[in-house]
Amino acid sequence: MIIDTHQHFWKYNPVEFDWIDDEMVLIRRDFLPEHLKETISGTGVDGVISVQARQCREETDWLLELAASNEWIRGVVGWLPLADRDIKPLMEKYAENQLLKGLRHVVQGEPDPEFVLGRAFNRGVSLLKDHELVYEILIFEHQLPNAIRFADRHPDQIFVLDHVAKPKIRYNKIKAWSRNLKELAKRGNVSCKISGMVTEAEYKNWTPEQLQPYFDVILEAFGPSRLMFGSDWPVCLVAAGYSAWLDLVRKVLSALSQEEQDQIFYKNAIRIYKL
């Protein structure tokens, strides 16, 4: 069994998806459940977690509708306005839907470097644990120090780090990222997705050997009990096909015991997202 803990759906338009630049022209189109269903056929992937790609309630509503009509979409990580004054009743309403497993905010895109430490935002995040909802941390590597401070404010909250905090793989820079990632991983309430790595390298020129040191760091930092597989489909397609990424992760993890591989490929997802 494999559960892909990180993929997106969208109906493409150039305004809402302006981050899809000319280098990523391959994904300037619609990506819907029928497309992913065909993609994962024969791969061993049995279920997925759908993650928001737009910061609006309509996105969360749409993903929940897709999950309700496709049983292999096992859950949704959506978006809600966590910093809003009226977030509590809104979150209570959404938490009634058992398909909502967590929330995230695109902190990597916030111009204010202190955003993740903001009072209103943290007040909203503090409510998540009452509903057993995960908070997913989406940042660039230079934002790790503040992410550590953020996590320390919420010791009882379950956190999941997306895309291994987006290290500068294309420049083969690892030292600062490694140090800060290992520090974050000391918090036992933080897990990490093995995802988004090929798109932090040069899309067409990355090699497994280039990625290996980064794999080594996350395996050492989090261990098999706090890592999960994620494809980042369809974003991954600009650098690697779905099966190519999955096969690489399988190869990297092949030295682990079967139990450890099972933890990363599905058991941790079941536990963390309460599937």
Give pLDDT tens digits along the chain (275 positions).
999 999 999 999 999 999 999 999 999 999 999 999 999 999 999 999 999 999 999 999 999 999 999 999 999 999 999 999 999 999 999 999 999 999 999 999 999 999 999 999 999 999 999 999 999 999 999 999 999 999 999 999 999 999 999 999 999 999 999 999 999 999 999 999 999 999 999 999 999 999 999 999 999 999 999 999 999 999 999 999 999 999 999 999 999 999 999 999 999 999 999 99
- pLDDT for res 14: 94
Alpha carbon distance 222, 161 (integer Å): 11
Alpha carbon distance 228, 210 (integer Å): 21
Query: Rg of the chain's alpha carbons, rounded to an integer?
Result: 17
- pLDDT for res 233: 98
Nearest one of 48, 54, 90 to 66, comparing CA atoms: 48
If you count them, how many residues does the chain have? 275
- pLDDT for res 133: 98
At 212 the three-state DSSP class reads helix
Nearest one of 117, 115, 167 to 141, comparing CA atoms: 167
Alpha carbon distance 49, 148 (integer Å): 25
Quick check: 241 and 39 in contact, CB under 8 A?
no
Quick check: 193 and 249 in contact, CB under 8 A?
no
- pLDDT for res 10: 98
- pLDDT for res 120: 97
Tokens of 180: 């800060």
Quick check: 201 and 170 in contact, CB under 8 A?
yes
Alpha carbon distance 267, 261 (integer Å): 9
Tokens of 86: 């009226």
At 138 the three-state DSSP class reads coil
Alpha carbon distance 35, 104 (integer Å): 24
pTM for the complete prediction?
Answer: 0.97
For domain 2-272, is the CATH number 3.20.20.140? yes
Nearest one of 49, 66, 48, 75 to 10, comparing CA atoms: 66
- pLDDT for res 239: 98
